[in-house]
Structure 1
């Protein structure tokens, strides 16, 4: 395995991991926003 092949594999692996992390992060913020909105609506309704 040449150094360039290893570097290319590492770059592909890093971009793959980063894309998964970004999807997970965006899903978390998306659900977090929905849960926060639902919580505020529930609290506002109780008052």
Structure 2
């Protein structure tokens, strides 16, 4: 169950990061994408 929630959260954070990059907010976009990679269950999860 937690894997699904973390995966959905990572996808949402990643999409917001991509939108920030499109809006030329490169620093915040990059930070959000890195956070999405860390939170996602496929990456290095912060919760395990």
More helix by share: 1
* Highest RCO, 1 vs 2 (Cα 8 Å, sep ≥ 6): 2
Q: TM-score, normalised by structure 2?
A: 0.49
Look at both structures and tell me which one has the larger radius of gyration over its CA atoms.
1
So what's the TM-score if we normalise by structure 1?
0.50
